[in-house]
Amino acid sequence: MKATWDIFCSVIDNYGDIGVTWRLARQLVAEHGLAVRLWVDDLGAFVRLCPQADAQALRQIQQGVEVCLWRAEWQAVEPADVVIEAFACELPAAYIAAMATRKQKVLWLNLEYLSAEEWVEGCHGLPSLQSNGLSKFFFFPGFTAGSGGLLRERELLQQRRAFQADSSARDVFLRSIGVTPLSGARLISLFAYENAALASWLDVLAADAHASQLLVPEGRILADLQAWLGCTAMRAGDVQQRGQLHIQVLPFIQQDQYDRLLWSCDFNAVRGEDSFIRAQWAGRPLLWHIYEQADNVHLEKLDAFLALYKEGLSADGQRALVELWHAWNTGQSVKESWNQLLQGWPAQQAHAEQWCLQRASQADLAEALVQFYLNWL
């Protein structure tokens, strides 16, 4: 009998919560042969990532995953062998009660947000005894061997390498999303939150001797882009040129296509959690817009990641990287740090690939979860 897994996802905002859980659910089915139910409280967000899904269905099978609407009025179901509450979402009380009385024991996991902070290793896998006698285990994704690892599909890097080695595959893909690659231009993707630093980056790209082609999926950064361009209501497919900078707005595409977009670009600006990891698997230099938290807690997380990521770069390369990421995340001008980064470009490129290979030598998150369950049994 297949082990059964329930993953609970409460969509707070944006696409990270559903993006991570949908990716994990698919991987557990496809690579580990598990029976997975994904409980989502906002099917609208899910449909954005999986456009063929039904936004009204209480239950539906998508890519082998049973996707269930998590309604406020909970209808009793038999709990699964493994229960994942993603990002500390609160499980229905009746479901927790059913977990406690289930004949076979249930592994209860809280899948935490990604962080590179040192304390993560010490907390990863720790149990916390609940009032009903069940233990809940904290599962931390992360970048180091003592963490739960990162989501990475088994064939991902092979597919990425084959794609990047084949320039016609790249052209075909780009054309399929309405992009005509400009010969010789630096190709950049931009996925970010509202960002006061954007104008300085666009200024420097427009004034550069080298042409850039900037691809911007529809989303929260558009208002800043429009303000810089001096135009309104930009939509997918719209194109603008300023100096050496060619800008195109893209539709929001499916996760697999978004991977191909990242693989196609020379540089990727990403945000949040999932796109940030996907850009690392692309093996190309990147810029992270971290999700903002109260009291600037996010800046500590940013520095914790930078401390790991910058290792192996020259002192100049490290400085350019750190200054660029700091400026981008604090709304300061990126002009100087971007130019510095360009000066050491080949080293940044080699470093991005090297970082990717190092992370890929660790067990991926889905594999680590399955192993955790087997050890617990």
CB 19 within 8 A of CB 49: yes
273 makes contact with ligand TRH (CB under 6 A): yes
Inter-residue contact 187 to 215 (CB < 8 Å):
yes
Q: Which residues pair with 288 in a beta bridge?
A: 270
Angstrom CA distances, 49 to 20, 82, 191, 245, 253, stand at 11, 25, 15, 29, 8
Q: 329-352: string of b/e by CB count within 10 Å (b at 16+)? A: beeeebeebbebbeebeebbeebb
274 binds ligand TRH (CB under 6 A): yes
**Binding flag, residue 304, ligand TRH (CB under 6 A):** no
Is 218 an annotated catalytic residue?
no
Instruction: Pick from 27, 268, 275, 329 the residue near ligand TRH by CB under 6 A.
Output: 275
Separation of alpha carbons 140 and 286, rounded Å: 23
Is 178 a binding residue for ligand TRH by CB under 6 A? The answer is no
* Helix (H) or strand (E) segment spanning residue 225: helix 222-229
- Closest to ligand TRH by CB, 26 vs 317, is 26
Least separation in angstroms between residue 149's CB and ligand TRH is 17
**Concatenated DSSP letters for 34-88?**
-EEEEEES-HHHHHHHSTTS-SS-SEEEETTEEEEE--SSPPP----SEEEEETT
Order the strands of the 35-40 sheet from edge to edge: 59-62, 65-69, 35-40, 4-9, 82-86, 107-111, 135-139, 127-129
Instruction: Write out the binding residues for ligand TRH, residues 321-360 only, by CB under 6 A.
Output: none
Residue 299 is a binding residue for ligand TRH (CB under 6 A): no
The nearer residue to ligand TRH, 95 or 258, going by C-beta atoms, is 258
In this chain, which of 3, 9, 10, 15 binds ligand TRH, going by CB under 6 A?
15
49 near ligand TRH, rule: CB under 6 A? yes
Q: Identify the residue among 252, 345, 372, 376 touching ligand TRH (CB under 6 A).
A: 252
Report the residue number, 192 or 370, with the smaller CB distance to ligand TRH.
Answer: 192
Min dist CB 287 to ligand TRH, Å, is 13
Nearer to ligand TRH, 35 or 47 (CB): 47
- Min dist CB 165 to ligand TRH, Å, is 24
For residue 273, the minimal CB distance to ligand TRH (Å) is: 4
- Using CB positions, name the residue nearest to ligand TRH: 16
- Burial of 308 (C-beta count, 10 Å sphere; 0-12/13-18/19+): middle
Of 14, 240, 332, 349, the one binding ligand TRH by CB under 6 A: 14
Considering the complex, state which of residue 149 and residue 317 has its C-beta at the smaller distance from ligand TRH: 149
Tell me the three state secondary structure of residue 268: strand
User: What is the C-alpha to C-alpha distance for residues 343 and 360, in angstroms, rounded to an integer?
Assistant: 28
DSSP 319-355: HHHHHHHHHHHHT---HHHHHHHHHTHHHHHHHHHHH
Instruction: State the catalytic residue, choosing from 85, 224, 273, 367.
Output: 273
Measured from the CB of residue 355, what is the shortest distance to ligand TRH in angstroms? Answer: 18
Measured from the CB atom, is 58 or 223 closer to ligand TRH?
223
Residue 102 or 220: the one with the smaller Cβ distance to ligand TRH is 220
Interface with ligand TRH, residue 108, by CB under 6 A: no
* Residue in this structure with the two tokens 């427009």, named with its chain if needed: 206
CA distances 12 to 42, 71, 87, 248, 301, Å, are 9, 15, 10, 29, 20
* Residue 17 falls in the annotated catalytic set: yes
Q: Determine, following the binding rule CB under 6 A, whether residue 142 of this chain makes contact with ligand TRH.
A: no
Single residue of 202, 225, 253, 320 touching ligand TRH by CB under 6 A = 253
Any idea which residues carry the catalytic annotation? Answer: 17, 273
Interface residues with ligand TRH (CB under 6 A)?
12-17, 19, 49, 113, 191, 217, 252-255, 258, 271-276, 291
